[in-house]
Amino acid sequence: MKYAENILETIGNTPLVKLNVLTKDLPCLVLSKYETFNPGNSVKDRMALQMIADAEADGRLKPGGTIIEGTSGNTGMGLALAAIVKGYKCVFVMADKQSKEKIDILRAVGAEVVVCPTNVEPSDARSYYSVSKRLGEETPNSWYVNQYDNPSNCKAHFLSTGPEIWEQTEGKITHFVVGVGTGGTISGVGSYLKMKAREAGTTVKIWGIDTYGSVFKKYHETGVFDENEIYPYITEGIGEDILPLNVNFGVIDGFTKVTDKDAAIYTQRLAKEEGMFLGNSAGAAIKGLLQLKENFTKDDVVVVLFHDHGSRYVGKMFNDDWMQKNGFVE
């Protein structure tokens, strides 16, 4: 009989799915790494499990402990699933721009959720960075995950996501495109793919998708952390107003920025034209890929990673009233 011992054993080995409609004007083959097939419906399940395993191994996370993390929702879901199986409590801190669905889903799997204001500086005592760090210091027998700077985040993708993509494309991948938030996915996958390409005598370009209001693109191009780049934005899960240690800028060949409006519209288009019911960052990723069109040739194999599931955005990008209120549709 074939079965998984628990839900955590179903993490990974997600399929590659060809895009057909939105990419019809591109000369290359475009494949999506479809991460919603993970049990928590996002790519973050991979690094959540790795971060917990490594923290258990070196004693940072002890039996009966409380896992504390600031999350936009998906990392929290991955951590919560692992915590249920392994017997930990969870407290998650979220910014108030995240969808209600994400907050409700985390509470549904038994986590305590603390909601903080979005429009404050990262160093502000009310920010979700500051609150999660403080709770980690104040809570007995707790472990503050810190996915932004935790090397196990990047490690998870070097050990699982990257090898899967290389194997699934039989080493023919020429470009990897992905939204950048904590940096773990792009850095881990990018490092692995570039290592394998060097061994094979080929090249792989790594492209990051950024959003307006985030510092990544300018910092990558100039080395300047420009606070004038920072302002509130709607797109969820990508971009930052800090420089996480997990973003390995040396692995990334370039960034393109996608507007909130385009990200929202293309999230809807993926559902209606490709049958791909995905999250907000997928809309940003596919629009960003289209913006990079001149970088692709007919022989290229481009893999774009789709982070999470559309069910977390039903009240936002998939709600016409919300889209009108934000000026994204007439």
Give CA–CA dist 208/289, Å, rounded. Answer: 9
Tens digits of residue pLDDT in 189-205: 999 999 999 999 999 99
pTM for the structure as a whole: 0.95
Residue 330, token pair as written in the block: 């007439």
Q: Is pLDDT at 11 greater than 90 in this prediction?
A: yes
Q: Which element (helix H / strand E) includes 56?
A: helix 44-57
Backbone angles phi, psi at 11, to 5 degrees: -75, 135
Is 217 an active-site residue? no
Q: Where are the alpha helices (DSSP H) in 228-308?
A: 260-274, 280-291
What's the rounded mean pLDDT across residues 177-199?
Answer: 98
Tell me which of 33, 44, 287, 316 is the catalytic residue: 44
The full set of domains in the chain, from first to last, is 7-37+161-322 (3.40.50.1100), 44-144 (3.40.50.1100)
Confidence band of 22 (pLDDT split at 50, 70, 90)? very high
Backbone angles phi, psi at 211, to 5 degrees: -130, 155
Beta pairing, strands 29-34 & 16-18: antiparallel
What's the rounded mean pLDDT across residues 105-128?
Answer: 91
Task: Output DSSP code: residue 70.
Answer: E
| Amino acid, res. 238 | I
Tens digits of residue pLDDT in 120-174: 888 899 988 899 999 999 999 999 999 999 999 999 999 999 999 999 999 999 9
